[in-house]
Amino acid sequence: MNMPQTKIGIGMDACVTPLRHGGLSMVQTTDFFYPLVDDPYMQGKIACANVLSDLYAMGVTECDNMLMLLCVSTKMTEKERDIVVPLMLRGFRDAASEADTAVNGGQTVMNPWCTIGGVATSICQPNEFIIPDSAVVGDVLVLTKPLGTQVAVNAHQWLDQPERWNRIKLVVAEEDVRKAYQRAMNSMARLNRKAAMLMHKYNAHGATDVTGFGLLGHAQNLAKNQKNEVSFIIHNLPIVAKMAAVAKACGNMFHLLQGSSAETSGGLLICLPREQAAAYCKDIEKQEGYQAWIIGIVEKGNRTARIIDKPRVIEVPAKEKDGELW
C-alpha cells in the first residue's frame, strides 16, 4: 500500500522531497551571506551554522552531506586572500564536524563581494522531520537564542565611526558594546541541533528559525503555514544585554522591539504544547548551558502573528558575571 508522502516546496525553511526509494525523503536547504563579523574563522562557523539551521528548524538533527559555496573577493590583495580564505574554510568545516557532518563538494568563484554559504542535505525517514504546520490553540511559543545580533554587530562597527558612536554612547559603554559583539558572535556560531533534538522529545508542533526577516517576519511566515486557524501573540523579547537601549537610541533604524530587525543564525521559534514548554526550556539549559524562553502564545485566529504594544524586554544575560560571556 502506498502511503501519501509529504512534499514541501518553497516557503518554509527546507524543502522535503519524497525519494523514489521506499519511504525516504530528502530534506534540503541552501543559504549564503556576506561578512558580518571581523573574524574570518568565526564568519565560516556562523555561515555553516546558518545553513544547518534550516534543517534543524524542520526537526532534522542529522545532516548527511554539505556543499560549500564560496566567493573570493577580487578586491582582496593576494596576501589578504591567503590569510582570510583558509580561516573561513576552517571555520565552516569545524562547524560541520561539530554537527557530525562533512563538506564534500561545492563551488568557488571570484567575485567583488566575499561570500560564504552552502547546501545541507539529509535523507530522512518520516519520523525524523517535523512538518511545521500543526500548532493548536493553547500552545506556547519558545525561542532558543536571544535577539539583537544585527544591533550588536552594527554597534561594534560604530566604535570606529565617531558620528555614529556619539548617537549611542549616552546609553551604552564601549565595554558593553564589545561584550555584546562577543555574545552575538558566540550565539550566531552556535548550532540549533540540540534545540531540534528536543523538539521530538517534547512533541513540538512545528518551528522555524529566526534569521533575515526578524522575529515577527518568521513568526508570520510560520503562522501562515498552519493547518488550524490560529494566530501567534508574542509578549516577551529576549535581547542581548544593552542592545534594546542601543536600538531605541537609534530611533527607528533597527525596529528591534517591533520584531523586524534582521538576525543572522538566530534561534528556533518553536510551537510547543503548553504543558511541555517549561520542561523543554529546562532541558535545553541543562544540556547546553544556554537559556530558552517562552515568548508568546498560540490562540484562535486567522494565521497571523503580532507582538503586543509594550512587550517585556528580557536582558540576556540578566546579570553580568566577571570573566563570563553569559
pLDDT score of 164: 93
What does the alpha-carbon distance between residue 196 and residue 130 come to, in Å, rounded to a whole number?
A: 10
Beta-strand ranges (E) seen in 144-242 are: 206-209, 230-240
Residue 290 lies in a domain: yes
CATH number of the domain within which 304 lies: 3.90.650.10
C-alpha cell at 287: 544540556
Residue 56 lies in a domain: yes
114, 76 contact by CB (below 8 A):
yes
CATH number of the domain within which 43 lies: 3.30.1330.10
Residue 115 lies in a domain: yes
Q: pLDDT by residue (tens digit) across 52-78?
A: 999 999 999 999 999 999 999 999 999
Q: Name beta bridge partners: 294.
A: 142
Range of the domain at 265: 139-316
What does the alpha-carbon distance between residue 117 and residue 307 come to, in Å, rounded to a whole number?
A: 31
- Tell how strand 115-124 and strand 65-73 pair up: antiparallel
Same domain, 144 and 245: yes
Average pLDDT of 243-257? Answer: 95
What pTM, to 2 d.p., does this model score? 0.96
Residue 73 lies in a domain: yes
Q: What percent of the chain has pLDDT over 90?
A: 93
Q: What percent of the chain has pLDDT over 70?
A: 98
